[in-house]
Amino acid sequence: MNDISRTSELDLPAVHLREPWWRRPTRVAQRSHLIGMLLVLLGLGAVGALGWYLAHRTAATQFNRGAFRNRAASTVGVAVVTRQDVPIYLDALGTVTPLATAVVQAQVSGVMTKVLYKEGQQVKEGEPLVQIDQRPFQMALEQAQGNLARDQANLANQVAIVKRDEVLLKQDSIAQQQVDTDVATQKQLEGAILTDRAALDSSKLNLTWSTVTAPISGRVGIRPVDVGNYVTPSLANGVAPIDVLYTLPADLVPKLEARLRAGAQLPTIVLDRTRSQTLAQGMFLTVDNQVDTSTGTVRLKSRFSNEDGALFPQQFVNVRLLLDTVPNALVVPSAAVRHGPNGDYVYLVTPDDTAEVRLVKTGPSVDDKISITSGLSGGERVVTEGGDRLVDGAFVKLPDQSAAQSSSHGKWSGAAGANGRPRRHRHAQGGGQD
């Protein structure tokens, strides 16, 4: 019995593992059915999870859009795209140089008695500058006049003597030698009179030179001596009309020459060191005939009347040469143009108060405005302030809208509705929700 039991226990696993052939198809079918049920359940679960995800994602997206709109509704400053003529200027550094420098020197020596000008004064040609003591020159003039009168009297007497000699010679009452001597004396007196006349003219000229006048019109410099000093012909005093010399890159010469060949007059403006004040206005005069190979620039000159005396010789100034003018160009404030990886752009404010990025190409600028060559057509509103907080499609508020909202505070609440826009409520006296 013990052996049989052990044998039965040992053979038991083999009996269970080896099933009859008629039971095997039933178990295979059950397993296939279970697998199919599991796959169906997994598919239904995946579909349900996807639907739940899409539903919650749409709601979250709507919520985020509303929050973004509320967050992006920034107050911005705007300007309207307009049209105006845009001048094209060439900017350069220049040096003021005199058109002509005249060193005024005293032609006679004497004591300076009067100074008839102020240092730095604008004077005209022939205007008196300095007066030298005239008394010595007046006395020399009178002496020359006296010498002339004396010699003229002697000459008249000698002429009469020669006439008498001629009569006596015909009567053979005088020697020929005496007649020749009297004729020679007459000629000497005639020469003396010529010398006296020259001395008289010289005295008159010295008297005239005792008043020093301006040889040209311009600005008088600093005088070297004062009243009471003894001056000589080395007295110097410069006066100078004004030109301005400046340089521009040689690449601009063809454009400049083309404008000159067309007969254009090129106005020139001189600005101070800070470029905030206009010192003088003049006209372009000439361009040099060669290029400086060391700097690649060419020298130009413009002339200024300098009536108010704002320009001084050897003064450094900023020069603006008007090369051309772009007529009826589209312009926007310079603050409206921004720079990005795709080029220059502006933020347009659309009719529904959203920001739209618009790529533009810029042209010449004037003052605080810049011209637009492409990208705009005119009349659009562009953002000038507050653009750093904007993105494409963001809602914006204009300053007048912000002021209106501030004045109506307490009448309308700013709670966002389901569509992401502010939801309005009536005032407390009005009752329920709008």
Cβ atoms of residues 380 and 360 within 8 Å: no
Residue type, 376: L
Phi, psi of 48 (to 5 degrees): -65, -40
- pLDDT at position 406 over 80: no
Residue 357 has pLDDT above 80, yes or no: yes
Tokens encoding 9: 């226990």
Query: Cα(384)–Cα(312) distance, rounded to whole angstroms?
Result: 41
Query: Taking 60 as the threshold, does the pLDDT of residue 292 lie above it?
Result: yes
* pLDDT of res. 222: 62
Rounded distance, CA 57 to CA 53, Å? Answer: 6
- Looking at per-residue pLDDT, the higher value among 239 and 99 belongs to 99
> Per-residue confidence at 185, pLDDT binned at 50, 70, 90?
very high
**Distance between CA atoms of residues 197 and 69, nearest Å:** 106
For the chain, the distance separating the N- and C-terminal CA atoms, rounded to the nearest angstrom, is 98
Instruction: Please calculate the CA angle 163-166-168 and round it to the nearest 5 degrees.
Output: 110
What are 11's two structure tokens?
Answer: 């053979």
Q: Global pTM?
A: 0.45
> Does residue 434 have a pLDDT over 60?
no
CA distance 161 to 107: 44
Question: Which two structure tokens, joined as six digits, stand for 13?
Answer: 């696993």
The values of phi and psi at residue 255, to 5°, are: -65, -40
**Crossing angle, helix 135-170 and helix 176-209, to 10 degrees?**
160
pLDDT band (50, 70, 90) for residue 390? confident
- Evaluate if residue 429 carries a pLDDT over 60: no
The per-residue pLDDT for range 198-228, each reduced to its tens digit, is 999 988 998 888 888 887 777 676 666 678 7
Which residues, at least 6 apart from 306, have a Cβ–Cβ distance to it below 8 Å? Answer: 219, 241, 242, 280
Determine contact, residues 206/108, Cβ cutoff 8 Å: yes
The pLDDT score that the predictor gives to residue 24 is 53
Q: Tokens 């810049």 belong to which residue?
A: 370
Percent of the chain with pLDDT over 70: 75
pLDDT surpasses 70 at 402: no
pLDDT digits (tens, 9 = 90+) for 25-80: 555 566 677 787 888 788 888 877 887 777 666 544 444 444 445 554 778 889 99
Distance CA 226, CA 11 (A): 148
To the nearest whole percent, how much of the chain has pLDDT over 90?
27
